[in-house]
Structures are given as C-alpha cells and as structure tokens.
Amino acid sequence: MRFSGLRILKEGLTGNRGWQPHWRDPAPKPEYDIVIIGGGGHGLATAYYLAKEHGLTNVAVLEKGYIGGGNVGRNTTIVRANYNLPGNSEFYSHSLKLWEGLEQDLNYNAMMSQRGVLNLFHSDGQRDYAARRGNSMAIQGDDAVLLDRDGVRRLVPYLDFDNIRFPVYGGLYHPRGGTARHDAVAWGFARGADQRGVDIIQNCEVTGIDIEAGQVRGVQTSRGAIRAKKVGIVVAGRSSQVAAMAGMRLPIESHILQAFVTEGLNPVIDHVVTFGMGHFYISQSDKGGLVFGGDLDFYASYAARGNLPMAEHVMEAAMTLMPMIGKARVLRSWGGIMDMSPDGSPVIDRTDIAGLYLNCGWCYGGFKAVPGSGNCFAHLLAQDRPHKAAARLRLDRFRTGAGIMDEEGTGAQHNLH
C-alpha cells in the first residue's frame, strides 16, 4: 500500500475502509540470519537499511514492548548536524542528509520540518566558540550562520535580550536543522522494513544471549529461543543490561532526561531555540504545544519519569530567556532513559564475541541520529566493516583512551554530558 494524495482522496470518499495495518504481526521464526534486539528508532532503521541496501531480509526486530514506546517516541524531536569535532561531525552530517530524503524514501509523512536551529550565546567567550563551531560545520559541508544580536532579534523577537545576568549577544543559526514527528519516524521505518520482508515482533523481550565458543548462536526471549547468525544490540537506555547478558560490562550509565509540553497555542515559536546559559531548549509542535526540555536528572536510574528539582530548573531557565512563556500552561511532562557514554558520543561497533554487534551511547541526542545510525549499523552488520561516516564510533576508545570524542569539551565523565 502506497500513500499518496490521490489515495487519501479516494479513501476519504469511500469511508476510509481501504487502509491496512502498517506492518504485519508475525510469530517469531526459529531462526534468522540477523536478529536486532530493540525496536526503537535505531533498531528499526537498521532493519530497514539491511533490507533496502544490502538485500538482507531474513531479519527480525525483537521489541519487548511496542514500537515507538521507548525514547524514539519520547524525545523533543530535534534534528541537526551542528557538531564541532571530527567523529561526530561527519556522522551527523551523513544522518541529516538521509533525513532530507527520508519521507520520499519511506513513502511516509514523518513531518520533517527544517525550521532552523538557533543556539544562543551570551558572552564574548561563547561567541568565539560559536564562530569556531560554525567554521567546523562549514568545513564539514553543513550550513551555519553567525548572527549578531540584531540578527537574532529579527528571528526571535520575543526573547529577553537585555536580561541583566544573561543578555543575548547573538546566535549560531543552522537553517537545515529542525524537527520531525518522532513516532511517525519509527512507524515509517517499521513499515518500510516490514514491506521488504523483515519480521517486526512486538511484546518479545530478549532475556538471554546464546554464545558458544566465542560465537553468538541466538537469543532467549519471552516467546522462546531464536537462533541467529548475527545479533545486534540496539536498546538505548537498556544497553548495559542487555550487554550483560553476553557477559559484557559497558561504559554506559543510564540517566533520565525529561521533556515538557504546554497546551496548544497559536504559532509563536518558528524555530528551535536553545539557551546558552542554562538548560533549556524549545520548539513548537504542529499541534501548537510548546515542546521544551533541559538537562539530565543527575543520577543513574531506569525510572522513565523525571524529578521535580529538574522540572523547576528548566522552568526557571525558560522564564529567564522568554518571560512570555509564563502565560502558557504545561500539560504534560515525561522522562526517557538515556544511554550516557563517558565522552557523550555513540558506539557503532563489533564486540569481542563473533557475530555480536553493538549500537549504543546515544545520550540525549540519538533521535537526529536515527537514519544515520541505522544506515551505518546495517553496513557493519552486512559487510563486517564500519561505514566511513561511523569509522570513529569504536567501543575500544574507552579502554585505550585513544579516539575519545569529547562531545562538549567537559571531559570523559558520564554525568557531565
């Protein structure tokens, strides 16, 4: 079933009786060539690209809950390629290019909106850093515009520019960045993979990983044993727990990140805006809700809900930057479990166990990575060599110290990223 304007018209005129489920609900087979553990954005995108680009369709995605129930359906939907340093720069640049053709590729409306991402700065030192970051982005081939105060005012006049503590000096603007509807991205990849023959199996928790003589043989699940020649672990906040099933101790800590949404309002915030002096960023959804968030709750946890001190901290930062937000009423808040790596950067790599592969460490920024991660992980699983855009995302950097990709210049410590 293909989506098109004509199809919508026809269904509208005939009582919408022709729509079908977007993917099948197959029972697990006893054996697959490749089993992907985790039906989040990254797992589903991996399965899609395995089928589409490598012709590998004897593949299952095993999801313990339902598609879209994890972080892929909980994030604040920001997509961008404005990283500063090699390793992340080329990877996120690759991912953004995939985003740009994604809806046509998937034949699915993911509501991709390149409305621009504006990172504000509030001091001379921050301006210098923004200029360096913008130059790195330009060298990578991505777009960056350094705006002075008046340039920012033209884009976002509603900020408190003369705040006594944090006056706005300017901003680094990334016009190709923006937002996409998070759960639609998961559904689009699920549908695309399913149409190519991949089995997407929900309510199927992996409870063990079978390994014989250093070679992976399959997985144990809540729906029985499944044999597999290759297994990919793509479980975001549960990475440490699932890797432990294979006897691995990962350099990953799980922390909670919260988000908030207000009641629907008339269009007021046209871009994604981030505060440079506090933990606050915001955009407006197509339904009108102001969607915003801040920093991690600063302790390791698997509870997918947030704490009140961080909620207060985020609201204070919001009021500092844009006092008008005080009139909006917050409808909901929620939390997701982040797989925090020590350097704030991800891993797409083989493990020491033959046939077992790992995709993790996305921290609070893995939504924008979904197409790039799936594309590169599929390449690794199919060809046993890294994709060039993900060549530096190696696991052993945490053992050797070589190749650490310090995302924020804060050092190699989980709770600083």
Contacts to ligand FAD by CB under 6 A:
37-43, 62-65, 69-72, 74-78, 205-206, 234-238, 242, 257-259, 293, 336, 362, 364-368
Nearer to ligand FAD, 188 or 366 (CB): 366
Return d(Cα 14, Cα 9) in angstroms, integer.
9
Nearer to ligand FAD, 92 or 169 (CB): 92
Query: Would you state the structure tokens that stand for residue 136, as one six-digit string?
Result: 């790195």
- For residue 162, the tally of other CB atoms under 10 A from its CB is 9
Nearer to ligand FAD, 116 or 293 (CB): 293
Return d(Cα 382, Cα 48) in angstroms, integer.
12
Rounded to 10 degrees, the C-alpha dihedral 147/151/152/153 comes to: 160
Residue 378 Cβ, how far from ligand FAD at the closest point, in Å? 14
* Residue with nearest beta carbon to ligand FAD: 40
Are the beta carbons of 252 and 395 closer than 8 angstroms?
Answer: no
Nearer to ligand FAD, 134 or 344 (CB): 344
Q: Tell me how long the chain is.
A: 417
Residue 13 Cβ, how far from ligand FAD at the closest point, in Å? 37
**Scanning the structure block, which residue is given the tokens 């729509």?**
19
Residue type at 68? G
Residue 78 Cβ, how far from ligand FAD at the closest point, in Å? 3
> Crossing angle for the helix pair 182-195 and 41-54, nearest 10 degrees?
30
Are the beta carbons of 381 and 37 closer than 8 angstroms?
Answer: no
Residue 364 Cβ, how far from ligand FAD at the closest point, in Å? 5
DSSP string, 322-385: -GGGGGSPEEEEEEEEEEE-TTS--EEEE-SSBTEEEEE--TT--STTHHHHHHHHHHHHHHSS
Are the beta carbons of 336 and 254 closer than 8 angstroms?
Answer: no
Residue 10 Cβ, how far from ligand FAD at the closest point, in Å? 34
- How far the first Cα of the chain sits from its last, in Å, is 43
Query: Would you state the structure tokens that stand for residue 77, as one six-digit string?
Result: 């939907």
Nearer to ligand FAD, 159 or 340 (CB): 340
Are the beta carbons of 392 and 361 closer than 8 angstroms?
Answer: no
Residue 128 Cβ, how far from ligand FAD at the closest point, in Å? 26
> In 3D, which of 354, 353, 341 has the Cα closest to residue 394?
341
Nearer to ligand FAD, 127 or 235 (CB): 235
Query: Would you state the structure tokens that stand for residue 69, as one six-digit string?
Result: 């129930």
Residue 204 Cβ, how far from ligand FAD at the closest point, in Å? 7
Residue 4 Cβ, how far from ligand FAD at the closest point, in Å? 28
Nearer to ligand FAD, 69 or 175 (CB): 69
Instruction: Tell me which DSSP letter residue 113 carries.
Output: B
Residue 149 Cβ, how far from ligand FAD at the closest point, in Å? 26
Residue type at 267? P
Nearer to ligand FAD, 322 or 363 (CB): 363
Nearer to ligand FAD, 91 or 169 (CB): 91
Query: Would you state the structure tokens that stand for residue 247, as one six-digit string?
Result: 């006897």
